[in-house]
């Protein structure tokens, strides 16, 4: 019985560790997407400003 309890608690700790890593990687991915979108928006703005100044 003790073996089963130990096995279960280890599994719970591993699950918590895995979910923390998953959340961390999701946050990093979200930040990268946000940065990419911001750069894309700035590029559009720069292109629009360049076109406007040509006229």
pLDDT digits (tens, 9 = 90+) for 19-39: 777 778 888 888 888 888 898
pLDDT at 17 over 80: no
Residues 39, 47: Cα–Cα separation, whole Å = 12
Q: How confident is the model at residue 53 (pLDDT cuts 50, 70, 90)?
A: low
pLDDT band at 1, cuts 50/70/90?
Answer: very low
Contacts of 7 (CB under 8 A, 6+ apart): none
Rounded Cα distance between 21 and 27, Å, is: 10
Report residue 9's pLDDT band, with 50, 70 and 90 as the boundaries.
low
Vertex 9, ends 2 and 1: CA angle to 5°?
15
């Amino acid at each position: 019985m003790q073996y089963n309890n130990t096995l279960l608690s280890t599994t719970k700790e591993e699950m918590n560790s895995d979910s923390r890593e998953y959340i961390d990687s999701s946050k990093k991915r979200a930040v990268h997407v946000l940065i990419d979108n911001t750069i894309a928006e700035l590029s559009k703005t720069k292109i629009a400003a360049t076109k406007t100044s040509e006229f």
